[in-house]
Amino acid sequence: MATHDKVKVAVVGASGYSGIEAVRILASHPFVELSVLTSEHYAGREVADVYRHMAGIDLPPFEELRPDLVPGRAEVAITCLPETVGTAHTAELIKAGVKVVDLSADFRFKDAAQFRATYGIEHPAPQLLKEAVYGLSEFHRHELREARLVANPGCFPTGALLALLPLIRRDLIEPSSIIIDAKSGTTGARRAASIEQLFAEVNENFRAYKVGNHRHVPEMEQEISAALGRDIALLFVPHLLPITRGLLSSIFMRPRAGTTESDVHAAFEASFAKSRFVRILKPGELPELRNVRATNFCELAFILDRRSETLLVITAIDNLGKGASGQAVQNMNLMLGYDEAAGLLGAAPVP
C-alpha cells in the first residue's frame, strides 16, 4: 500500500490488556483511523469511561461483536480474543477480505494436531494454518508484506526466539542444551478474575508455574525446530513477577567448540542490522525492564562464560508491547507497506 491515507482498523476484544494496549498505540498512529472497538463486557460504553487514561482521545465506543460488524467498516482487524474464542470469527473476516493480525495462539501452529494436543479441541479453521504468517517481525518481514493473516507470537516465545534464532542459524550453540528461564508481569495472563492473580497472592511473592506444560513451549519448539531442520525439546521455566508489565528472559546454552564472543556478537549484529526495535547492549550492560516498559523495544545482552562453558543471553521486553500489541502494530505496518516503526515511537499516556 503506497498511499498514506488513513486505513480503518478494528480492534476486536479491545477492553482486555492487549486490546486496550493496541488501542493506546493506534490512537496516535499517523496512518490509522480506529473505526471499530469491540468488548463483550463494556458494549455501549465510551472507552474513557472504562479507561480514564484514554480521556481526551477521539475514539469510537465499545460495541458488541457481531459477524457483520467489522466487514465494510475496517480494512484491518487486530483481534485480541482468547484462544479458540474468536477463531471462527477471524476466518470470516479473512473471507470478507479484512486483513487480520491475531494475538491469540489460534493460528501460530502449522499443524492442526499440535493445536489439538495443546488446547484439547479440533481447530475450527485448519485451512488457514498453512497460510498464517508467524509474526516474529525481525525474521519474517518478506512474508509479512504479503500476508493477509498474521499469527502474532506469544510474549515468552518473542523474548526467547529473538535470543536463540540468530545463534541457531549460524550453528553457534548446542541446541539440546537450551534452558529458558523467564519472568513475566501479571498482565501476561488474561484480564479476568483468578485467585492466582489476586494482589495478596502476587504481592511480595515470586513463583514458577506451569513448568513442563506451558502452552508456549510447543510454539517455541516449532520455530526452533524449523530453523534447525529437526525436532527439538526445550526446558522452559516461566515465573510470575509481582509487577504489572515486563518480561525478562535468561537463556542458558552450551556454545559449540570454538565459538567466540565475536562470533556471537556478529550473529546478533547480522540478524538485527535492519531492526528498529532490538537493542544490542554494550559489554557490561544488562537488560532492565524499566528501559522497555510501554515500548516495542527488546534489549539484548550476552555473556560467554568460559569457566562453565555456558553462553547466557538475556532479553527484556514489555509483554504487552513487543510481546503482544506493539509487535502486532509492527506486523500491521509491514502488511500495509508502512515504515514498520510507524506509530510505535510515541503513543498515548500509559496508565
pLDDT tens digits, one per residue of 276-300: 999 999 999 999 999 999 999 999 9
Query: Dihedral angle at the C-alpha atoms of 296, 154, 186, 242, nearest 10 degrees?
Result: -80
Known active-site residue 155? yes
Catalytic one among 155, 217, 224, 328? 155
* SS3 category, 310: strand
> Checking DSSP bridges between strand 247-255 and strand 310-317, what pairing results, if any?
antiparallel
Mean pLDDT of 4-14: 93
DSSP H/E element including 32: strand 32-38
Give residue 108's pLDDT.
96
> Checking DSSP bridges between strand 76-79 and strand 62-63, what pairing results, if any?
unpaired
pLDDT at 3 over 70: no
Mean pLDDT of 134-152: 97
Mean pLDDT of 84-107: 94
Summarised one tens digit per residue, pLDDT across range 175-223 is 999 999 999 999 887 676 678 778 888 889 999 998 988 989 999 999 9
pLDDT at 129 over 90: yes
pLDDT at 1 over 70: no
Mean pLDDT of 79-90: 91
Cell numbers 492487549 correspond to 18
Name the average pLDDT for the chain: 94
DSSP H/E element including 145: helix 141-145
Give residue 188's pLDDT.
80
| Confidence band of 83 (pLDDT split at 50, 70, 90) | confident
| Confidence band of 4 (pLDDT split at 50, 70, 90) | low
Of 101, 52, 56, 97, nearest in space to 73 by CA: 97
> Checking DSSP bridges between strand 310-317 and strand 298-305, what pairing results, if any?
antiparallel
Summarised one tens digit per residue, pLDDT across range 21-53 is 999 999 999 999 999 999 999 999 999 999 999
